Structure 1
Amino acid sequence: MEKIKLKVLFMNIIGLLLLILFSMIHLSCSAQEKEIEPNVAGSFYPSDEKELKEMIEGFLEKAKDIKREGRPIALISPHAGYIYSGGVAGYGYSAIKGFDYKNIIIIGPSHKVAFKGASVYVKGVFKTPLGPVKVNEALASKIIYEPSNIKFIPEVFEKEHSIEVQLPFLQSVLKDFTIVPIVIGSMDAKTFDRLASNIFSIVDERTLIIASSDLSHYHEYDVARSMDSNVIDAIERLSIHDLENLYSSRKGELCGYLPVLVTIEVSRMLGANVGRLYKYENSGDVIGLKDKVVGYASMGLYKIPFTNDDKNTLLSIAKSAIREFVINKKRIDIDVKNPVLKSDGAVFVTIKKDGLLRGCIGHVRPVMPLYQSVISNAISACSSDPRFEPVKSEELNDISIEISILSPLKKVRDINEIEVGRHGLVIRKGFYSGLLLPQVATEYGWDREKFLKQVSLKAGLYEDAWKDSDIYIFTADIIK
């Protein structure tokens, strides 16, 4: 009997050891980095290393005299075959050559697999004829959030080219970088907001975002140029609102529509306020056939600080808008050339008299060019704030004006994120919402909890409503 027990014990030990050994082998295999072979080498671009290097060097040489305007936060870059769009792409990559970017977030559309949400490649190596490019596992894993359909779906990348075609250019202009590849399928507002927020959370000063997208597809040459001009203008103004309207009305096209929107949103969160066109062509310009062409643009998104002249111009516009409306009940009509002031902006205009509030109205989101938003909200603040009577002509010499240019909203997950004096607050609960600008808490000497209670009351809620409401923070450039 004792021998049988020992035999059973021995067999159990052997079985356990085999199970442990099998698990170790399995873990070792699964921990190995998967190598993603190139999908379109030999078709979209040369599969021979020397030939590919020479081709890209030729593109970069033609773009070497590009005007540099600082360090881009993001690029919009085409992803067609290099004989069609490589020359255009070269301008964008020439603009980042020499900068010390180390983490590249590449966002492309899915051409082969239909799915909901976004797929983030979390671990592995993407290979090109110029060598391997490593995925930054630590950063990629921080973007994943499965409740919002942001996950890793391997098959999405198996035949996708929108990420791959950017890599040889990156390998030609940067050194020692890693990538975070993201492919987008269809997307609702919840996924969009979460993806933008998660990308924003991992970006530092050595991160570059690339939206991989071509423009219009298979229209006659002049029609394509007109459509593409509309899209380029909207991107230059970082206008998500106008891009949405162009796309839904079919007056503009981008195959990477959602990647471009996400890139603009994150860039705005990082302070970008203007887009620059480096180069535009369509396939008709390249090969001469103009009956059905595809458009390509290379663009950069930048943060251009407001100069004193910019600030004075906006204040002058606000004052003129108020004076003209109060005296003549007319809206001023002006033409602004400055691209920083033409970019879409979310603006609040505050009017004070003898240091006391006399009117304050604005837009939480950028829905029109900055200077037009100043005009609209200056007029509304002096005439339509329901808390006050309209400003009278005899008051015009006694009022002061303050302009607050808002950053994109960021949802608060922990109230300790709120920095009094730096952040403004937005609260939303059901049909109720309220906003307080950053300077309000400072002016009244509120702490964080008092600030939260006051924004709750501003929304028409009870003072502790913030505890079970959606809270958002934003920063503001304040001009006065």
Structure 2
Amino acid sequence: LSAVKDLPAISADVRALICPHAGYVYSGQTAAYAYKLVQGRPYETVIIIGTSHQYALDGASIYLKGGYETPLGVVAVDEELAARVSRASGFSYVAEAHAKEHSVEVQVPFIQRALPGAKIVPIVMGYPTRRNVYSLASGIAEATGDKKVLIVASTDLSHYLSKVDANSLDAKTISLVRNINADTLITKCLNGENIMCGGGGVAAALIALKKAGQPRVEVLRYSDSSEASGDEGHVVGYLAAAVTVGQPAAEFSLSAEEKKELLRLARQAVQTYVAEKKVIDYKTEDPNLLAERGAFVTLKKKGELRGCIGFIEPVASLYETVIQTAIYAATEDNRFIPVRPEELGDLEVEVSVLTPLKKIDNP
């Protein structure tokens, strides 16, 4: 903690940290950047979300009673809050999930030093299915209420790639985190992509905080294991980040230019794929096009339907969804034969973007 330099000035309440959990010689200095930022702040409890490395767990396990002992002493579990999270999420205690799990344990000494008065709620996350992640996120949001709670999502990034490949992949993962693309993180982790071992916990933290307002992620430090080992052939990536929450996001809307860009993108995607069998490469910094949204692309020819495919729920960023659904509308709508190159000039393209789903009280 004493070696941390040049932290950004963050005046807003930090509601969550993302911290690595490798051996201290490898990732300890990076984790220290996160804990230094919150050192001495008046948190009552720290919810630690680790990931199950040793035990096949479907769901999550919540440590309900007792405490965690380290060479610095015993940290008590906030038994009342742990019970509330358990009831609200539907997850209970599975002893085997905690028995040999380091991803929770490695955070505890940092909490003892940085937040010596805080209690803890240790949670081990199992398979990061959408149901599991959203259940845990909803349970945490419901149980914490106005209590002064800090969430720590414990995760490393990519594992055992070369330094060059790891740094490149980790930059993309960090971009997903900064843009609060929780559903994309879940999908990639479920698909076994080598992006982060604790992606379910990170996604759960982001989703839980979305219920309080608009999360904002501040990257504090990125490093990899070559800093300690000197081995650049096989590295593990480490991220320290802080999450604050602002006012609830404004109602989603697209500008006229953004609408034109999505129509252009859909048309280009169809033309390129039908004519060349290639998926277009597209980059953008527009936050609305990077946001996760459901969308449909409809193709018409001389006023008649020629194809329509879409996703009601978000599966990727808006621009990626439009590219994908445009290609599917042209080639995968089983009501029609695939669009032929000679038809491209006659196609009309429509893009329908769905606003986020909202829970209603009385269906």
TM-score normalised according to structure 1 size: 0.55
Retained in 2: the 8 A contact 1:75–1:209? yes
Asked if 1:154 corresponds to 2:89, the answer is no
- Find the counterpart in structure 1 of residue 210 from structure 2: 268
**DSSP 3-state at the match of 2:103:** coil
- Find the counterpart in structure 2 of residue 209 from structure 1: 151
Amino acid at match of 2:206: I
Stretches of structure 2 that go unaligned for 5 or more consecutive residues are 270-281, 296-309, 325-352
Paired with 1:99 and 1:370, the residues of 2 have a C-alpha distance of 38
The one of the two structures with greater contact order (alpha-carbon pairs below 8 A, sep at least 6) is: 2
Asked if 1:180 corresponds to 2:121, the answer is yes
Of 82, 92, 96, 1:140 maps to 82
Paired with 2:41 and 2:89, the residues of 1 have a C-alpha distance of 36
Asked if 1:193 corresponds to 2:138, the answer is no
Asked if 1:296 corresponds to 2:238, the answer is yes
Of 270, 282, 291, 1:344 maps to 291
**DSSP 3-state at the match of 1:155:** helix
Q: 1:125 deviation in Å?
A: 1.4
Retained in 2: the 8 A contact 1:63–1:90? no
Higher deviation after alignment, 210-219 or 172-181? 172-181
Given the superposition, is the C-alpha separation of residues 98 and 266 from structure 1 closer, same or farther in structure 2, using an over 3 Å criterion? same
Q: 1:280 deviation in Å?
A: 0.7
Retained in 2: the 8 A contact 1:276–1:299? yes
Given the superposition, is the C-alpha separation of residues 307 and 203 from structure 1 closer, same or farther in structure 2, using an over 3 Å criterion? closer
Retained in 1: the 8 A contact 2:128–2:190? no
TM-score normalised according to structure 2 size: 0.71
Amino acid at match of 2:237: G
Render the CA deviation track for 1:174-202: whole Å, top value 9, x for unaligned: 24211111012225444333222211101
Retained in 2: the 8 A contact 1:239–1:366? no
Determine what percentage of the aligned residue pairs are the same residue. Answer: 31
Amino acid at match of 2:291: D
Aligned pairs for 1:34-433 (under 5 A) are 56-58=1-3, 62-68=4-10, 70-145=12-87, 150-186=91-127, 188-205=129-146, 206-247=148-189, 251-305=193-247, 314-315=254-255, 317=257, 337=285, 341=288, 344-346=291-293, 365-369=313-317, 406=356, 409=358, 425=360
Given the superposition, is the C-alpha separation of residues 63 and 365 from structure 1 closer, same or farther in structure 2, using an over 3 Å criterion? farther
Q: 1:366 deviation in Å?
A: 4.5
Retained in 2: the 8 A contact 1:345–1:405? no
Given the superposition, is the C-alpha separation of residues 272 and 103 from structure 1 closer, same or farther in structure 2, using an over 3 Å criterion? farther
Paired with 2:200 and 2:82, the residues of 1 have a C-alpha distance of 19
Q: 1:137 deviation in Å?
A: 0.7
**DSSP 3-state at the match of 1:163:** helix
Paired with 1:311 and 1:257, the residues of 2 have a C-alpha distance of 26
Paired with 1:247 and 1:190, the residues of 2 have a C-alpha distance of 14
Retained in 2: the 8 A contact 1:228–1:252? no
Paired with 2:252 and 2:203, the residues of 1 have a C-alpha distance of 28
Amino acid at match of 2:171: S
**DSSP 3-state at the match of 1:83:** helix
Q: 1:367 deviation in Å?
A: 4.3
Given the superposition, is the C-alpha separation of residues 64 and 242 from structure 1 closer, same or farther in structure 2, using an over 3 Å criterion? same
Paired with 2:284 and 2:38, the residues of 1 have a C-alpha distance of 29
Q: 1:337 deviation in Å?
A: 4.5
Paired with 1:274 and 1:336, the residues of 2 have a C-alpha distance of 19
**DSSP 3-state at the match of 1:218:** strand
Given the superposition, is the C-alpha separation of residues 237 and 209 from structure 1 closer, same or farther in structure 2, using an over 3 Å criterion? same
Q: 1:104 deviation in Å?
A: 1.2
**DSSP 3-state at the match of 2:57:** coil
- Find the counterpart in structure 2 of residue 11 from structure 1: none
Retained in 2: the 8 A contact 1:110–1:156? yes
Render the CA deviation track for 1:61-107: whole Å, top value 9, x for unaligned: x2353342622222111001111001111111122234322121111
Stretches of structure 1 that go unaligned for 5 or more consecutive residues are 1-55, 349-361, 377-402, 411-424, 426-447, 453-465, 467-480
Paired with 2:128 and 2:29, the residues of 1 have a C-alpha distance of 31
The two structures, once aligned, show a CA RMSD in angstroms of: 3.9
**DSSP 3-state at the match of 2:13:** coil
Paired with 2:166 and 2:183, the residues of 1 have a C-alpha distance of 21
Render the CA deviation track for 1:207-261: whole Å, top value 9, x for unaligned: 1111111111111111111221121111111112332444356554211122122
Retained in 2: the 8 A contact 1:72–1:301? yes
Paired with 2:256 and 2:24, the residues of 1 have a C-alpha distance of 48
Max Rg structure? 1
Q: 1:164 deviation in Å?
A: 1.3
**DSSP 3-state at the match of 1:84:** helix
Q: 1:146 deviation in Å?
A: 10
Paired with 1:247 and 1:227, the residues of 2 have a C-alpha distance of 14
Amino acid at match of 2:136: L
Paired with 2:283 and 2:232, the residues of 1 have a C-alpha distance of 35
Render the CA deviation track for 1:407-438: whole Å, top value 9, x for unaligned: x755xxxxxxxxxxxxxx3xxxxxxxxxxxxx
Q: 1:110 deviation in Å?
A: 1.5
